[in-house]
Amino acid sequence: MNIGSVLGLLRTEFPDVSISKIRFLEDQGLVEPERTPAGYRKFSHADVDRLRYVLGVQRDHYLPLRVIRDHLEALDNGLEPPVAGGPRSPRLVTSNGVSSATQAAAAEHRLTRAQLLEQASVGGDLLQALESFGLIVPRSDGTFDGDALVVARTAGELAAFGIEPRHLRAFRGAADREAGLVEQVVRPMRSQRDPEAAARAEETTREVSGLCVRLHAALVKTALERGSA
């Protein structure tokens, strides 16, 4: 893949990405794409995943690139990613994957109930409420994944504004409907046995769900502007 196609893939999810930014990220040692004999950058799927990771962390956690690079180096060496930032910063979690090896590590993110409560800074009653409304579902062995951590943390912060889990029930239904829409698009790709088709299906899932989330955000913003006008 050349740099232009990478841009095309990423900018649905990250609208402010640019060619010069991708080149800059390579310059800073965050990706190392191969080169063609003529010097053109050749990005692999893993490279794109890596960029996605960088852009996601940058957007969601406001970490400087130097720190993100250190995290990536730690991940490449199979080490645990360092805890991010100060007391209020959540542990760095993403299932947007990095390389196949590090992606496995992210997918394997396992938190006990106690760890989840501590890292999300929430109480057991709030977690129980979130579970009872289906906003968080533990694995069969009782552990929780990275998404559960994000949900718990966010719900905790919303609770500080007086928004309780029962107010969030509708979120689950809306999310399920959107996921269903995405699945409808991706299902035909998934049915193929080709492993490359499977990779494309995963890429498409991310892309389309990114578009859905973007649409959702824009509509919430519109509704709020209309409401306060």
Partner DNA sequence: TTGCTCCTCACGTCACGTGAGGTGGC
Which 52-71 residues touch a second copy, going by CB under 8 A?
A: 55, 58-60, 62
- 163 contact, one of DNA, a second copy, none, CB 5-8 Å limit per kind: a second copy
> Minimum distance between the CB of residue 130 and a second copy, rounded to whole angstroms?
10
Q: Which of 100, 112, 128, 132 touches a second copy (CB under 8 A)?
A: 100
Q: Give the torsion through C-alpha atoms of 216, 220, 223, 224, to 10 deg.
A: -170
User: How far is 190 from 202, CA to CA, in rounded Å?
Assistant: 9
- 41 contact, one of a second copy, DNA, none, CB 5-8 Å limit per kind: DNA
Residue number with CB closer to a second copy (31 or 135): 135
Place of tokens 């991310």: 206
User: How far is 39 from 34, CA to CA, in rounded Å?
Assistant: 9
**Does 175 engage in binding with a second copy (CB under 8 A)?**
yes
Q: Which residues contact 34 (CB under 8 A, 6 or more apart)?
A: 41, 42, 44
Residue number with CB closer to a second copy (35 or 66): 66
- CA distances to 74, 80, 92, 95, 131 from 142, rounded to whole Å, are 28, 22, 21, 19, 12
**Does 31 engage in binding with a second copy (CB under 8 A)?**
no
Place of tokens 């552990």: 143
> Minimum distance between the CB of residue 52 and DNA, rounded to whole angstroms?
14
Q: Which of 37, 78, 87, 162 touches DNA (CB under 7 A)?
A: 37
Mark the segment that binds a second copy (CB under 8 A) among 73-81, 108-116, 121-129, 169-177.
169-177
**Does 121 engage in binding with a second copy (CB under 8 A)?**
no
- Of 186, 212, 207, nearest to 198 by C-alpha is 186
